[in-house]
Amino acid sequence: MTEQLEIPVRSPSSATASTCRLYVIRHGTTTMNVENRYRGRRDVPLDAQGYQDAVDAARRLSHAGLAAVYAGPMRRTIATAQIIADEARVPDLRIMHGLNNVDYGLWEGMTAEEAARAHPDAFHLYRTSPSRAACPLGERLPEAADRMISALRLIGSRHPGESVAAVTHAVMIRLTVAMLHGVDDESWRIPVGRGSLTAFDIDDSVIRLNALPDGDDVD
């Protein structure tokens, strides 16, 4: 199992009246999660456990006073976000393409073992150096991280002083944490449980990690 990163968590007292508290949620389980296959841009739906993951996340956020709920464009993120929005009584779900998953290219549908056999050099970079890695015929990880961070900054600029939720994918959460903290080794693949929450504070385009996700899922 990948070791948990030791990253300082910002004290709540350092937040200001203009700070956006952004809860980033990993979508619930799908059949491809259970099979440990790279989903990427494949539009697979939540399974029964995935809906329960979404309900659990919604309940955890029920007292957060959410002003808005965002989601990437996949069915699994939208379904998770809709359950959160309904619980929070947020009337409009907002789709943001910057929250979309990495395009895994030729690896989509493969297990990690299959990807490692097919493209050993590219897979080694994927596991150990996200700042240099690229998925074969897919997306470069630094570019995926840049669009994710840009999306979070845009959300923060729209909601100063408010609490907001955004539903995305595990790898996008990991890349965000890694790029914000200069992590460029195998420890970037922190555990991100399905339906887990990662908290960020955003103030004047500055993104700070408030709390790491829970769970031990590293697929």
Token couple for 167: 């539903």
User: What letter represents residue 218's amino acid?
Assistant: V
Task: Give the model's pLDDT for residue 13.
Answer: 42
Residues 9 and 12: their CA atoms lie apart, in Å, by 9
- 182: number of CA atoms within 13 Å, CB side? 0
E-strand stretches of 33-128: 66-71, 93-95
Helix (H) / strand (E) containing 200: strand 197-203
Residues 207 and 78: their CA atoms lie apart, in Å, by 24
For 67, phi then psi, to 5°, come to: -95, -20
CATH number of 17-169+182-196: 3.40.50.1240
Cβ count near 34 (within 10 Å):
12
Residues 196 and 28: their CA atoms lie apart, in Å, by 9
- The one-digit pLDDT tens for each residue of the chain (219 residues) are 334 444 444 444 456 789 999 999 999 999 999 999 999 999 999 999 999 999 999 999 999 999 999 999 999 999 999 999 999 999 999 999 999 999 999 999 999 999 999 999 999 999 999 999 999 999 999 999 999 999 999 999 999 999 999 999 999 999 999 999 999 999 999 999 999 999 999 999 999 999 988 755 545
**What length does the chain have?**
219
- Of 137, 144, 140, which is closest to residue 126 (Cα–Cα)? 140
Cβ count near 205 (within 10 Å):
12
Token couple for 112: 């990690």
Residues 120 and 150: their CA atoms lie apart, in Å, by 31
Residue 45 to residues 26, 36, 80: CA-CA distances in angstroms?
A: 14, 15, 10
